[in-house]
Chains A and B, each alone.
Chain A
Amino acid sequence: MIKQKFRQTAGGVINREKSISFTFNNKRLYGYDGDTLASALLANGIHLVSRSFKTHRARGIMSAGTEEAGAIVQISKNTPKSQPNMRATEVLIYDGLAAQSVNAWPSVKFDIASINKLFSKYLFAGFYYKTFMWPKSFWKLLYEPMIRQMGGLGKCDIINDDREYERNNDFFDLVIIGAGKAGLEYAEQFLRTHKTKDHSIFDKQSTNDTTLKILLVDENPLLYLNKERIQKLGKEINVLTHTTVFGYYDNNYLCAVEHVNSSKIDQRIWHITAKQVVLATGAIERPFVFKNNDLPGIMLANSVQTYISRFGVRCGKDAVVFTNNDSAYQVAFDMKAAGINVKAIIDIRKTSPFEGRTDIPIFTQSVILEAQGKNHIKSVTVSQIKSDEQSVYRVKQIISCDLLAVSSGWTPSVHLHSQAGGKLSFDDDKACFVPTTTEQNNVSIGACNGDFSFDISSISKKWEIENGIGKSSYVDFLEDVSALDIRIAAKEGMSSVELLKRYTTVGMGVDQGKTSNVNAIGILANALDKPIDLVGTTRFRAPYTCVNFGALAGKELGDLLDPVRTTPIHDWHVDHGAVFEDVGQWKRPWYFPRTHESMQETLNRECLAVRTSVGMMDASTLGKIDIQGKDSGKFLDLIYTNMFSSLKVGSVKYGLMCHEDGMIFDDGVTAKIAENHYYMTTTTGGAANVLDWMEYWLQTEYPDWEVYLTSITEQYCAIAVSGPHVKKVMKHVFPEESFSNESFTFMTSKDILLNGINIRVLRISFTGELAFELHVPSYHGKEIWEQVYQAGKPYAITPYGTETMHILRAEKGFIIAGQETDGSVTPLDLDMNWIVSKKKDFLGKRSFLRKDTSRKNRKKLVGIITKDPKVVLPEGAQLVKDPHGSIPVNMEGHVTSSYYSATLKRSIALALINGGLENKGKTLYAPIEGSIIPVEVTSPVFYDPKGDRQHAE
């Protein structure tokens, strides 16, 4: 095993017994169990991890947490687990881990595109908007492809992700977010004073459930936290570690992601509803903005400390500390204790409370003007500031070092507080934004509330060291935004922080500005000469840290994305070779091809069977709604355009429904089963909408009406049997019943008991032939279907699918809601005046009086036949009068349905055209893909215009 040069011989929480082998840029390295990729790299003396977004500057590990803005890697490239843009600080190493630098080619140390640094002078804020406009064609051919090639960090591998994700929901009385000092203390104190048995503070109503449900959650793995105390707490409350709460929505609704890292589940999304939330999310240290502040080897001070205490890793040998507050001093002392040679502490402030208390040289009233180095920091230039706090003395000192620990203050992690609607204000003494009022039931404690464990009050509010124009003084490392960019934006009028963000992209990178936002706001405030509080912050939005698409999608993938609905007869269809079509969530048999039969041959056979003998179709997908209550009739009169209240018991009626605008949105037949009891059918796709629509009117406008609606779509199968021989088949199935026209008249229904099964038989026809529909309790659906099929065998009964149904009804000119209608068609447009009641009011009626709705030349339903009977028009074809008209051509209307009719031995079509049947006999043209098809306007009823066949004896 190769020695880890920067690993101390002891210390940290890592498991030194277990060595882990991983690769970085294909080089084999070793770390310990418990290491992050960042700590393992640092242990091996590697700081340089990736190249920056625009200027390809060398970037290294600058933190130890989710705020990391430098070290971006690609994990497991070219494998199913490939993950772009991971921060080295958030990846726990494991045997076989393969990490690679991003945005670097051929290697991170020698990166060709770092030539961009030469251009960086020209790559300033708003630069794109001011150029690449000339010549125009170059944008598409050269400029944009070039920009795109340069954009992005990692790669999204074209190979499917094989990790598993899942989702969990839970309720808690109290959720404590953050198991750091404040969170742990709060939890322990809470348990001491309240005990979990006492629930009085929550005003819990249920007396049965006496245990308070409490959750403590932290984004760190348990290993990095105070294990003993958390395990002790874990006996009484729920604990989730390595879990980041990333979203805080209305009603104390929290979204979190748990990094499970088990062999089965990679991540688990939590949806948590909490009565009370305690935010103990801590604070993030800020970097200084000075020249070359982004060099690898420059790190947030507290992270240097974390690497020592948690991983036993020294981030360098010779270090300098640069601070404007007290917090970095302890870091310096810890570094020294860990054997790092701390050469100096550079403190901006006039005096330091630690002067004389340490042998580390302290340079007060001093700043680092710039850092030097190529791929790693080599030295820093230090100078004293004059009393104006701006300018510096000429005398400069260069201190060589390989590590610079910086602290320009602390930013409370107010993300969740702010997402929840809480307000912020800038605390001048602490130099940070702190929570003020909350909108929801939550409270912020500890560092995230600005209550730090060290004295912050003496902080100097200086975080930018101006030296030159600030081109290489980076504010946002991930987006390559410099102090200069912010000043340019301010000069150009981007005076609002929201505009600044959009113009410079500051804070829009992978870390969402965790370390950059406050520095940017400070520089903008200076540039505008406004107090920071007036500049304000941008709105905090979920997610706090990036979350995998896959994790959020959870298990709702493939067939679980949307349930596939099949009828109880589905297996029979599969066994009989049906081809299915998707209609909403349903799988419906489209047609039943025999071996070597083309689709058209199948359709011809199926259609002719219905017209000449008998066919059967599974109509179970139709929406079915049971309607009861004393106001049912009145209610149906409101919903349908025609009258239902006067229907006799046992009768069936076809009805149309319109929205308020008078446009048809669904149709179907409804049977009156008993007084105040109706059985409604709807279209397959419209079932849910119709139920919603009716409930909407009942609940919002007529709550006093007594009507009960129950969806029974799934409870009933519907079998349509149709054709001249249908009565013989029915007689065979129901030997006791008479199907004569006298005893079972058209448009009536009967409940027939067959072997103890109550079958609702409707004599209705959608094919124009003699027909019955059998509505059978689902459990017995397949059994009755089989019985009908057997009974029909002597007549070669033919199962048919939706396509044949469509052809047969089109031959009769029957519409399909959603195909002949599109939300712009009234019953009158379909010449269905007979179905529009003049006696009563109904939804949509008043709209018929409107000027445009009552206009003469509206688009109306017609039949269309092609001059060449063999040509079948494509559905959706537009019809024009002048086939050679110049574009834009006036369109008369469009073809809504179009088929080849075996019965008529020619093609037929339905269309909606201006003026409708006034054009009867006229020629129109369908321009299709360069050819022009002449057609003639006819009646939409192509077959049996008198409608005798459905009444045959």
Chain B
Amino acid sequence: MYSLIYLSITPYFLHMDFYKKITYYEKKMGKKLSIFGNIKASHENHENWEPLWKNATPKKTYDFIIIGGGGHGLATAYYLSRIHKSSNIAVIEKGWLGGGGTGRNTSIIRSNYLWDESAHLYDFSLKLYETLSQDLNFNTMVSQRGVLNLAHNLSDVRGAKRRLYANQLNGIDSEWLDTEGVKKYCPIINTSPDARYPVLGSTLQRRGGVARHDAVAWGYARAASDAGVDIIQHCEVTDIHVSNNKVVGVETTQGRINAKRVGIAVAGYASNVAKMAGFELPIATHPLQAYVSEPVKPILDCVVMSGAVHVYLSQTDKGELVMGAGVDKYIGYGQRGSFNVIEEQLSACMQLFPLFSRMRVMRTWAGMVDTCPDASPIVGKTPVDGLYINCGWGTGGFKSTPGSGWVFAHTMFNDAPHDLNKAFSLERFYSGALIDEHGAAAVAH
């Protein structure tokens, strides 16, 4: 069918008048990215492309500095400027944009979390994802192809249903599929009752899916840069200047930069940066690996996650199977993991998808996950005035990116948390008001 559509539109593309019309529409679109711009650029031999974001050199003073040019940091800058109409904002990145968790995750988005606090924050994020391509005028390829969380034993079923009922009352779409339902929804899953871990059922969030992770960082960077945010790459923060318990600026490899408010969004390095300002975080950073197979024609049309066998996988638009492995148990900042973790996970994967035995691992990589004792993030104020922290997303960082940026921008702008991140304060580790997603998170990704 697609070939037919394709053939029928071809002649238009090849017609010269069409190019003239395109030029007209392209002008009407202004700076916006569109098919018209693409076609025009092609006819202009691509000579006029501009940087997606400007590479800024630091000014002396900013109202807001965000340390960390990953998805969260860039989203924060974007919303500070767009929602809160702030100007004079800088994002400082020590390497290249989106080079941490943003570019290393398995790109799953979903919001079917158990606890109200998590559910509301992640669902807000998912809603922002649903219109992100249009909002940013950059195709982030948000693909709501459905997320299955499989249950393999009675305890899994109990936990899954508890989460399902809570999701429904929180307004998060969630359905229960029995074994046959799973087979129907994703026919290639092995649902044999004789399997070592038989599939007893699954929750399904149809709004869940995947997005193109790098594009999320680039889209935010471009939109933020267009709005006047200074994006400063290859600039490492080496110290945070505090005077009378108030942040006054940061020391960087490009010199000192003053700021009224500073937000830390550096994921795996959060503890190190916090230390510069003189406070500690209950964060442990672990290596986490992921890998892709060679690209094949469409074979898996949804995201499948299983806690008991620790598998989570999906197929990209390019055709690769993307799979996440388990966390390496030791603490490390090396962005490299152990091979046995991948082997063990593939053994488990063979149980669910015996046909994938013929698939081949093409590339493996590792990132860092910064995790809190309760497997929930910290987004809020710090013991230092004007200094804010956003970290501890563990394996939930990518799916929360838009929501995290939104509430962090709110927190930095108002010097007070948004309703959605109130509960995720650093203070909860003193009060004991933990949001423990361990118990119910099935597999936390």
Contacts and interface: CB of A to CB of B under 8 A. Distances in A.
B440 A822 contact: yes
Contacts of B163: 876
How many interface residues does chain B have, given as a range?
A: 35 or more
A582 B355 contact: no
Interface stretch (A118-126, A356-364, A936-944): A118-126
B161 A876 contact: yes
A495 B432 contact: no
A824 B35 contact: no
Nearest to B214: A502
Contacts of A454: none
B359 A156 contact: yes
A550 B294 contact: no
B373 A661 contact: yes
B295 A888 contact: no
Given A144-B317, A160-B357, A561-B196, A823 B166 contact: no
Contact of B297 (A147, A152, A499, A552): A152
A156 B153 contact: no
A512 B294 CA distance: 10
11 contacts: A115-B7, A128-B212, A133-B133, A148-B319, A149-B2, A499-B98, A503-B218, A512-B363, A541-B363, A661-B434, A927-B165
A516 interface: no
A192 interface: no
A582 B153 contact: yes
Given A85-B360, A583-B153, A492 B49 contact: yes
Interface in A861-901: 874-878, 880, 887-889, 891, 894
Interface in B127-144: 131, 133-134, 137-144
A151 B319 contact: yes
Contacts of A146: 2, 5-6
A247 B339 contact: yes
B38 A851 contact: no
Interface string B36-77: 011101100110011111110000000000000000000000
A944 to B, nearest CB: 26
Interface in A482-503: 484, 487-488, 491-496, 498-499, 502-503
Given A122-B13, A122-B38, A891-B169, A549 B5 contact: no
Given A129-B139, A851-B431, A493 B363 contact: no
A894 B297 contact: no
A831 interface: no
Interface in A918-938: 927-928
B53 A542 contact: no
A512 B291 CA distance: 13
B433 to A, nearest CB: 4
Interface stretch (A134-142, A365-373, A377-385): A134-142
A499 B97 contact: yes
B338 A249 contact: yes
A491 B51 contact: yes
Nearest to A564: B196
A151 B164 contact: no
A163 B197 CA distance: 22
A160 B354 contact: yes
A284 to B, nearest CB: 18
B159 interface: yes
A128 B318 CA distance: 12
A549 B171 CA distance: 39
Contact of A492 (B37, B50, B97, B319): B50
Contact of B294 (A115, A122, A132, A510): A510
Given A493-B53, A661-B434, 18 more contacts: A53-B295, A84-B296, A128-B139, A129-B219, A130-B34, A152-B295, A152-B298, A157-B358, A488-B49, A492-B52, A498-B96, A543-B361, A543-B362, A822-B440, A824-B434, A850-B431, A874-B161, A888-B116
Which of B5, B144, B350 has the largest number of chain A CB atoms within 10 A?
B350
A546 B344 contact: no
B397 interface: no
Given A878-B165, A887-B171, A822 B196 contact: no
Nearest to B362: A546
Contacts of A131: 33-35, 38, 139
Interface in A838-860: 847, 850-853
Interface in B313-363: 316-319, 336, 338-339, 342-344, 346-351, 354-363
Contacts of B33: 129-131, 133
B362 A818 contact: no
Which of A83, A512, A542: most chain B CB closer than 10 A?
Answer: A542
Contact of B153 (A83, A561, A581, A874): A581
A764 B158 CA distance: 28
A274 to B, nearest CB: 15
A130 B170 CA distance: 35
Contacts of B338: 249
Contacts of A557: 347, 350-351
Interface residues of A, number: 119
A136 B134 contact: yes
Contacts of A269: 343
Nearest to A585: B196
Q: Which of A145, A498, A582 has the most CB of B within 10 A?
A: A582
B13 A119 contact: yes
A81 B358 CA distance: 8
Contact of B318 (A119, A152, A889): A152
Contact of A129 (B99, B131, B138, B196): B138
A484 B45 CA distance: 9
Nearest to B158: A875
Nearest to A559: B196
B349 A153 contact: no
A253 interface: yes
B346 A549 contact: yes
B436 A153 contact: no
Nearest to B209: A140
Given A128-B141, A502-B214, A581-B154, A541 B351 contact: no
B2 A145 contact: yes
A504 to B, nearest CB: 11
A888 B169 contact: yes
Contacts of B116: 888, 891
A502 B131 CA distance: 23
B14 interface: yes
B84 interface: no
Given A118-B14, A142-B5, A491-B51, A548 B360 contact: yes
A562 interface: yes
B162 A875 contact: yes
Nearest to B154: A581
A139 B134 CA distance: 11
Given A121-B42, A152-B319, A894 B166 contact: yes
B341 to A, nearest CB: 11
A597 interface: no
Contact of B134 (A112, A133, A552): A133
A130 B139 contact: yes
A132 B142 CA distance: 11
Contacts of A554: 343, 347
A552 B346 contact: yes
Interface string A47-62: 0000001000000000
Nearest to B351: A561
Interface in A559-573: 559, 561-562, 564
Nearest to A116: B6
B361 A498 contact: no
B46 A469 contact: yes
A791 interface: no
B409 to A, nearest CB: 23
Contact of A82 (B152, B170, B358, B365): B358
B3 A113 contact: yes
Interface in A811-850: 818-819, 822-824, 847, 850
A159 interface: yes
A709 B349 CA distance: 35
A600 to B, nearest CB: 16
